[in-house]
Amino acid sequence: MSKLSVTLGIDIGGTNTVFGFVDKEGKCVAESSIPTNAFEPAEKLFERLFPQVDAVYQTIAKNYYLVGIGIGAPNANYYTGMVELPPNLNWQIVNVLEIVKKYYDIPSAITNDANAAALGEMKFGAAKGMKNFIVITLGTGLGSGIVANGDLIYGHDGFAGEIGHVVVVEGGRQCGCGRNGCLETYASATGIRRTVFELLCNSNDVSQLRSFPFEEVTSKMIYEAAVSGDKIALAAFAFTGEILGKALANSVAYTSPEAIILFGGLASAGDILFKPTQKAMEDNMLNIFKNKVKLLPSALHSGNTAVLGAAALIWNELEKDKVQLKENVPVENWDVM
């Protein structure tokens, strides 16, 4: 039996670095993780990471052949291979792809987690077969990956897709970027927490969220409160959806996507978030786009979604290279390279 190709997807988060081996259908055949240790330099992370990767690879090496490495990391630049001043890591500026090359002599690529998510949805998820769509990742912040004409938009400098930093409220909430009113200060896990506290101050409604300090309230708690009928929590989701939906209506005017896909923790709130978002999006949409753009949840379910995204990045690169370098050689045949 000939071996099947897999790529290694690595997602570097502030707390954990997760990795997995993903086949070209998006099946994660083995995965594991190590703590990131955010205060260490990048080199140390990879010193600890790659022996673990090799150990896991040994368990599948009989049946699989590693053909590339894709990495998702905060503030990662696809063009340069650099990660620059990542907000939750003490890395400063580091060329990650150069470090990787010291360990593995196979194709590798890096991008930020939102771009990786977009490629993951295109290859394995809700955007299969689409050539124009936007993925919005709702995590601590709001990230986005924009695909147009079938290609991810990296922009001139590799930093395209910062929809989280589109200003949606003039003079609004203070943002980590140093400005005010950015979308992510409203539509994100931290944004909805801020909204809860604004509502707790403006309204007299009883709420189970009144018994927790700011720092302890999570989007999961707000979701659970909303499900149990908590008025403040429900109003927080309604407000978040309204701001997000309006912003998405504006986004549609740029690239006219077939779909917008919501990804990440907050997106798993389902209808409680999707309904007000969809309504605000349609209510504020330019007529030529009305009722045309699908609002979809992520369809990445097998294993760690960020690992699938990182793996999709390098699958995508390998297929681009294939087209240019070796036409019509089936991917399976790479196994014997």
Chain residues that interact with its own copies, rule: CB under 8 A: 130-133, 146, 148-149, 151, 153-163, 165-167, 177-179, 246, 249-251, 253-258, 284, 286-289, 292-293
User: What is the closest distance, in whole angstroms, from the C-beta atom of residue 75 to its own copies in the complex?
Assistant: 8
Q: Which is nearer to its own copies, 211 or 324 (CB)?
A: 324
- Cα 7 to Cα 318: distance, rounded to the nearest angstrom: 10
Q: State the nearest-atom distance from the C-beta of 245 to its own copies, in Å.
A: 12
Closer by beta carbon to its own copies, 31 or else 184: 184
CB of 285 to its own copies, least distance (A): 9
Residue 327 main-chain phi, psi, to 5 deg: -60, 135
Encoded tokens for 174: 């203070």
Residue 307 CB neighbour total at 10 angstroms: 28
260/184 Cα distance (integer angstroms): 16
Instruction: Name the residue nearer to its own copies (CB basis): 67 or 94.
Output: 94
**Burial class, 271, CB count within 10 angstroms (exposed 0-12 / middle 13-18 / buried 19+):** exposed
CA–chain centroid gap for 35, Å, is 19
For its own copies, which is the closer residue by CB, 33 or 112?
112
If residue 52 lies in a helix (H) or strand (E), which one and from where to where?
A: helix 42-60
The CA-atom distances, in angstroms, between 136 and each of 75, 129, 146 are: 16, 18, 9
CA distance to 7, 22, 56, per residue, from 66 (Å)? 6, 9, 12
CB 110 to its own copies: min, Å: 16
In the complex, least distance from residue 319 CB atom to its own copies, rounded to whole angstroms: 16
Closest CA to 128 of 288, 298, 304: 298
Q: Minimal distance in Å, beta carbon 251 to its own copies?
A: 7
CA 305 to chain centre: 8
- Minimum CB distance to its own copies smaller for 41 or for 181: 181
Nearer to its own copies, 62 or 156 (CB): 156
